[in-house]
Amino acid sequence: MINRVVLVGRLTRDVELRYTTSGAAVGTFSLAVNRQFTNANGERETDFINAVIWRKSAENFANFTSKGSLVAVEGRLQTRNYENQQGQRVYVTEVVVDNFSLLESRAESEQRRAQSGSANNNFGGGQQGGNQGGFNAAPAQNPFGAPASNGNVFGGASTPAQSSNDPFGGGQEVDISDDDLPF
């Protein structure tokens, strides 16, 4: 039997971190994941998927993410049921997270948080130009901090705005001898 789930999406709210009576941390959250296809109006629909994460991973996930964070989670699908206070049987389906990856840098997440103070995030449908998954997101950046305006993250023709952050910019050649190479 195989029960594996891999999701990439944005948190719809901050992780709700609680502790069991035995002291184990448990975090619950919801992930907005765009569908691959568009509806009749040309808009992408979004699924909102509930997830739970346990122990130290829950604490780390809660500390390093917030509403709108772009994350990847891996785990298993689980169903459970319980009887609520009104005596009704409630069924819950959720992803139990084993692993997660943060898919945006700290600078991108802080920039998004600063922008979300003045504007609401768009977790709904609507295809958003070149943004990741149809969400309002910060502009893509390469690992070295320069904006990737042309989609070429690791080099090629750079714009004047990028050249100030590019240590190899300005058309200078880099002299590397065979002795400098590790192989």
Residue 27 forms part of a structural domain? yes
pLDDT computed for residue 38 by the predictor: 85
pLDDT at 94 over 60: yes
Residue 161: how many CB atoms within 10 A of its CB?
11
CATH assignment of the domain containing 65: 2.40.50.140
For residue 174, give the H/E element and its range.
none
Residue 115 forms part of a structural domain? no
Residue 97 forms part of a structural domain? yes
Number of domains in the chain: 1
Residue 161 forms part of a structural domain? no
- pLDDT tens digits, residue range 63-84? 888 888 999 999 999 999 999 9
pLDDT at 148 over 60: no
Q: Which residues contact 143 (CB under 8 A, 6 or more apart)?
A: 105, 153
List, in sequence order, every residue forming a beta bridge with 81; answer none if it has no partner. Answer: 91
pLDDT at 44 over 80: yes
Give the residue numbers spanning the domain of 61.
Answer: 5-105
Q: How confident is residue 175, by pLDDT bands cut at 50, 70 and 90? A: low
Residue 55 forms part of a structural domain? yes
Residue 134 forms part of a structural domain? no
The residue behind tokens 């130009």 is 129
List, in sequence order, every residue forming a beta bridge with 141; answer none if it has no partner. Answer: 147
